[in-house]
Structure 1
Amino acid sequence: MFEKLSIAAVYPEMLLAVMAIVIAMVDLFVKCPRRTTTYALSLITIGVVAYLEAVAATQGQTVYSFGNMVVSDPMGSWLKCFAALAVMVTLVYGRPYAAERDMLRGGELFTLGLFALLGMFVMISGNNFLVLYLGLELLTLSSYAMVALRRDSAVASEAAMKYFVLGAMASGFLLYGLSMLYGATGSLDISTVFKAVASGQIKHQVLVLGLVFVVCGLAFKFGVVPFHMWIPDVYQGAPTAITLMIGGAPKLAAFAMTIRLLVEGLLPLAVDWQQMLMVLAIASLLIGNLAAVAQTNLKRMLAFSTIAQMGFVLIGLLSGVVNGNTAAAANAYSSSMFYVITYVLTTLATFGIILLLAREGFESEEISDLAGLNQRSPLYAGVMAACMFSLAGVPPLVGFYAKLSVLQALIASGQTGAIVLAVFAVMMSLIGAFYYLRIVKVMYFDAPITATTVSAGADVRVVLSLNGALILILGILPGGLMALCAKAIVSTLGT
């Protein structure tokens, strides 16, 4: 761990910011309706940034910069690398869809995507309350604009307004909580806040009141009950390419922000925030799974599925500290990190198939639209089936190992009620299996409602095939990614 006066810690962010502006200017001179030049420049930029973050992560150094306001550590670097790859895949899947719906009249999709990614990077690297909040606002403001990008769609405009109003409220919660913590501790620096809280000289009631608002703001970003109201409406109303943009990579940034605030800053208050996360996790697993069963709209069903899946992420986060003992922390937080990474991987492939099936004038948003997909395209039906089995937690797919690692961390923590919570989570997963397997049944056993063949560009076919293969490969050989997560979390906790 060391401080650098140089700007080496933020080279990727600087490159991303500069290129986002350059690409926006270059796009003014692009005449191609599919924005091929803008698209290629965006993918190259994101690829270079992902490579830089991967190199930084493998070096294993923790670097503080800008007066401790920014931190570059292995956990942050890996999460930024995976977030960049997720945005890249999103743009590959979403470009044909956007082109058919007149969303590429300008290069806003690519420019806003790059600025959203920059916001995620700032959230992941923030070691200061203000930096974290700036990153969050950059991400959310870009997201609001992207949801409303399809100008002729009243449904998308309505979704953007709901997202904006609820997002502004959640940002207010978070900012109010952070301001209370600042007032109590006298610092915006996360490590200084940790020392102040650990000293025991600050009134516990003031800290807990600020903590409640902070947890509310974080819960909104995860989309967990009772801060889930925006998820089903925004997922359904937003253009599908944008649904993937806001439902995939930002979950990695939300996880990092939670680790920065709750673990690195407020770990002495773990007994308080873990109880809050337990209530949120139980409510999310229950309501998310039960509500998903009743859905006929595929995107809305996946929205409630997301709420339930984030409940598992919270289970990992609440298992780290037992009676002040942090021995189980690395195992718990690394299992949660593994879960959120594999969830994003599966979500990318799931929405990739939905985008692939959509065509001009047809959205492919209903579960019935998948009827007989196996007869039209066995490959894409197989990828979608792998995604559904993975989300349901069926071995040997990666979702099974993700759920297993989180439940193992919960039981290993030895907390009061850990066994009961684990059994409850498994029971909720069984309910979840119903609506996931229903999609598999529709694809393989229902008669197709259209004879239209499924076609896609070479880039989409290659990326989607790799995406589906990774879901299986990481399920059979999860050790590498799990070790990577464990090493990153240990490094972060050690500083």
Structure 2
Amino acid sequence: MFDKLSLLAVVPEIILLIMACAIMIIDLWVKSKNRGLTYGLTLLTLAVVVALEAASATSGQTVYAFSNMVVNDSMGDWLKCFAAASMMVVLIYGRDYAAERDMLRGGELFTLSLFSLLGIFVMISGNNLLGIYMGIELLTLSSYALVALRRDHVLSTEAAMKYFVLGALASGFLLYGMSMLYGATGSLDLHQILQAINSGQIDRQILVFGLVFLVAGLAFKLGVVPFHMWVPDVYQGAPTVITLMVSSAPKLAAFAVFIRLLVEGLLPLAVDWQQMLMVLAVASLLVGNLAAIAQTNVKRMLAYSTISHMGFVLLGLMSGVVNANPDAAGGAYGSAMFYVVTYVLTTLASFGVILLLSRDGFESEEISDFAGLNQRSPLYAAIMALCLFSMTGIPPTVGFYAKLAILEALIATEATSHIVLAVFAVMMSLIGAFYYLRVVKVMYFDPPTSTAPLTASVEVRAVLTVNGALLLVLGLLPGGLMTLCADAMMKMLAT
């Protein structure tokens, strides 16, 4: 079981685990308030992991390890590469913010970040129900602790409690659904579950019953309606650096689990889970966009915005296999992966600007806090405007192409219901344009309410500038990333 090939397949995970434990111990002797050594070792670890995952992804090989409990394929490697890179960006953006709020008294921010990333990696590589569940729990337990990292802050501890209670309920749903699948098929291995379902000897009602609980648990992790209650409260209550962490890399993991469970394990039940995803997508687009209009807090507005964006991702997932015809599956799932990756990129830049505007004793969370930003810093105003245009879906930003790819996948099915959904998604995007462009108006046309200088380290300014530029570059030249996502999905479907 523990052969050389299996160990090589999980080298990045082993590095993350060893370094997280080592950094936790080394940090005991670090006296610097900014935790310079801990920060440096964490970034070095993440850089090594990014390089390893990128090298593995470009090789294009698919490896099954540990008795098929772990799968290393192109899709998983790229998602892990993007997740590790986004975690690096989060820590670069958030270090000064955390130091100003006394969140670096210990190295918990860095070690818990590595443990949560390890959970993400286990989720993405999971080819077994138990393995996927272990990854989910490692990620969520680390996230609960991170949200409550400001122990003396009432909003943070309240958000952590809500997150914990609702997260425990969702984990129960997920575990119950998995137990139903295990009871029906007699296996935890996704390939064996697929074979058992294809045999036609299992009562379909039991499978669908388990599927309902499974989708409900996954919907919570993705934060879609009606399992979205935790999203706005956690986004607003958590320290902004933790909000960024929760809203970025874990979305990549949730997407991967949807693909692993529903596409690789439960594809014969596509007719059933596609209907569930359709209901979730429509509700998320409607509630997310309408609720966001009423928000004056930017973090809550972006939380409801996230809900609507995840509705778009579900539209891509449900358009993969229609009328038992898998021809368009690679393109549809590839467009969904492209959407998730570009959404994470946009989220990093938008929260990066919010972190930049925050200072000691002041949280830049209200829309009014962005008043006159263009007069204070044209560069940061331009980056934030690019983020908002991208989320709206205005060309030539990458968000436009991401939405277009999802709509193309829906229309390519030629199913009337899917074409209606595409029209509905466009209408919801038009509604969403209001609350995004409202912030742009405040930045460029309202007089500034603060004259405090915007200070940031060289590395933060450099990374934020590159991050913002990518939103425009990938919008003008989306072909490379789109091809990468589509190829990864085709290789996944081929195995």
Query: What residue is the counterpart of 2:433 in the other structure?
Result: 433
Matched, 1:48 2:48: yes
- Displacement of 1:5 in angstroms is 4.5
Residue pair 2:222, 2:251 contacting (<8 A) in 1 also: yes
Correspondences of 1:301-340 after superposition (within 5 Å): 301-340=301-340
Query: What residue is the counterpart of 2:404 in the other structure?
Result: 404
Query: What residue is the counterpart of 1:104 in the other structure?
Result: 104
For 1:413 and 1:223, locate their aligned partners in 2 and report how far apart those are by CA, in whole Å: 26
Correspondences of 1:110-129 after superposition (within 5 Å): 110-129=110-129
- Displacement of 1:419 in angstroms is 1.3
Equivalent position amino acid for 2:291 in 1: A
The secondary structure found in structure 2 opposite 1:263 is helix
Residue pair 1:222, 1:254 contacting (<8 A) in 2 also: yes
Matched, 1:491 2:463: no
Equivalent position amino acid for 1:303 in 2: A
The secondary structure found in structure 1 opposite 2:416 is coil
Query: What residue is the counterpart of 2:90 in the other structure?
Result: 90
Query: What residue is the counterpart of 1:272 in the other structure?
Result: 272
Query: What residue is the counterpart of 2:355 in the other structure?
Result: 355
For 1:91 and 1:199, locate their aligned partners in 2 and report how far apart those are by CA, in whole Å: 48
1:443-473 superposed Cα distances (whole Å, 9 cap, x missing partner): 0000000111211001100100010000000
Query: What residue is the counterpart of 1:155 in the other structure?
Result: 155
The secondary structure found in structure 1 opposite 2:10 is helix
1:159-184 superposed Cα distances (whole Å, 9 cap, x missing partner): 00000000000011000000000000
Residue pair 2:6, 2:64 contacting (<8 A) in 1 also: no
Equivalent position amino acid for 1:217 in 2: G
For 2:396 and 2:252, locate their aligned partners in 1 and report how far apart those are by CA, in whole Å: 24
Residue pair 1:335, 1:409 contacting (<8 A) in 2 also: yes
For 1:150 and 1:463, locate their aligned partners in 2 and report how far apart those are by CA, in whole Å: 26
TM-score by length of 1: 0.99
Residue pair 1:321, 1:329 contacting (<8 A) in 2 also: yes
For 1:159 and 1:322, locate their aligned partners in 2 and report how far apart those are by CA, in whole Å: 40
Equivalent position amino acid for 1:279 in 2: V
For 1:493 and 1:22, locate their aligned partners in 2 and report how far apart those are by CA, in whole Å: 38
Residue pair 1:392, 1:432 contacting (<8 A) in 2 also: yes
Equivalent position amino acid for 1:39 in 2: Y
The secondary structure found in structure 2 opposite 1:417 is helix
Query: What residue is the counterpart of 1:222 in the other structure?
Result: 222
Residue pair 1:322, 1:414 contacting (<8 A) in 2 also: no
Equivalent position amino acid for 1:326 in 2: P
1:88-137 superposed Cα distances (whole Å, 9 cap, x missing partner): 00000111100000000000000000000000000000000000000000
The secondary structure found in structure 1 opposite 2:64 is strand
Query: What residue is the counterpart of 2:200 in the other structure?
Result: 200
1:225-268 superposed Cα distances (whole Å, 9 cap, x missing partner): 00000000000000000000101100000000100000000000
Equivalent position amino acid for 1:63 in 2: V
Residue pair 2:24, 2:111 contacting (<8 A) in 1 also: yes
For 1:485 and 1:13, locate their aligned partners in 2 and report how far apart those are by CA, in whole Å: 23
Equivalent position amino acid for 1:400 in 2: F
For 2:39 and 2:208, locate their aligned partners in 1 and report how far apart those are by CA, in whole Å: 46
- Displacement of 1:152 in angstroms is 1.0
- Displacement of 1:4 in angstroms is 6.7
Correspondences of 1:41-80 after superposition (within 5 Å): 41-80=41-80
Equivalent position amino acid for 1:184 in 2: A
For 1:415 and 1:192, locate their aligned partners in 2 and report how far apart those are by CA, in whole Å: 31
The secondary structure found in structure 1 opposite 2:234 is helix
Equivalent position amino acid for 1:430 in 2: L
Query: What residue is the counterpart of 2:8 in the other structure?
Result: 8
The secondary structure found in structure 2 opposite 1:363 is coil
Equivalent position amino acid for 2:182 in 1: Y
Structure 2, unaligned runs of 5 or more: none
1:36-86 superposed Cα distances (whole Å, 9 cap, x missing partner): 100000000001001100000000000000000000000000000000000
Query: What residue is the counterpart of 1:461 in the other structure?
Result: 461
For 1:192 and 1:288, locate their aligned partners in 2 and report how far apart those are by CA, in whole Å: 37
For 1:108 and 1:322, locate their aligned partners in 2 and report how far apart those are by CA, in whole Å: 46
1:124-157 superposed Cα distances (whole Å, 9 cap, x missing partner): 0000000000000000000000000001101100
Correspondences of 1:18-57 after superposition (within 5 Å): 18-57=18-57
For 1:437 and 1:457, locate their aligned partners in 2 and report how far apart those are by CA, in whole Å: 29
Correspondences of 1:251-270 after superposition (within 5 Å): 251-270=251-270
Residue pair 1:4, 1:63 contacting (<8 A) in 2 also: no
- Displacement of 1:223 in angstroms is 0.3
How many positions carry a matched residue from both structures?
493
Equivalent position amino acid for 1:168 in 2: A
Query: What residue is the counterpart of 1:175 in the other structure?
Result: 175
Equivalent position amino acid for 1:469 in 2: A
Equivalent position amino acid for 2:312 in 1: F
The percentage of aligned residue pairs carrying the same residue is: 71
Query: What residue is the counterpart of 1:481 in the other structure?
Result: 481
Q: Which runs of 4+ in 1 moved over 6 A?
A: none
For 1:206 and 1:419, locate their aligned partners in 2 and report how far apart those are by CA, in whole Å: 32
- Displacement of 1:416 in angstroms is 3.3
Residue pair 1:4, 1:64 contacting (<8 A) in 2 also: no
Once structures 1 and 2 are overlaid, which stretch shifts more, 319-328 or 222-231?
Answer: 319-328
